[in-house]
């Protein structure tokens, strides 16, 4: 949960223009987690959650 929260804070600050860019060094990265299933040490897919919330809350259209 802390990894997701850290990435969300960073992503929202970058998207809002508070900071120019950022790099999140977090573990677990979440790349094994699926939408409704945890796998390995990945309970949440941090990047997918961040992308979805940026789209919903800030109407960000494209995410790389």
Question: Which residues in the chain show pLDDT less than 70?
Answer: none
> In this predicted structure, what is the pLDDT of residue 58?
93
Global confidence as pTM: 0.80
Query: Which one of 12, 13, 15, 32 is the catalytic residue?
Result: 32
> In this predicted structure, what is the pLDDT of residue 26?
87
CA 39, 51, 16: angle at the middle one, nearest 5?
Answer: 140
> In this predicted structure, what is the pLDDT of residue 45?
87
Let me know: does 24 contact 38? Beta carbons within 8 Å: no
Active-site residue 31, yes or no? no
> In this predicted structure, what is the pLDDT of residue 13?
97
Q: For 42, phi and psi rounded to 5 degrees?
A: -95, 110
């Amino acid at each position: 949960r802390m990894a997701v929260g850290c990435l969300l804070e960073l992503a929202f600050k970058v998207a809002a223009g508070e900071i120019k860019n950022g790099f999140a060094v977090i573990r677990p990265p979440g790349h094994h987690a699926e939408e409704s299933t945890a796998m390995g040490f990945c309970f949440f897919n941090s990047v997918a959650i961040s992308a979805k919330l940026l789209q919903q809350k800030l109407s960000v259209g494209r995410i790389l």
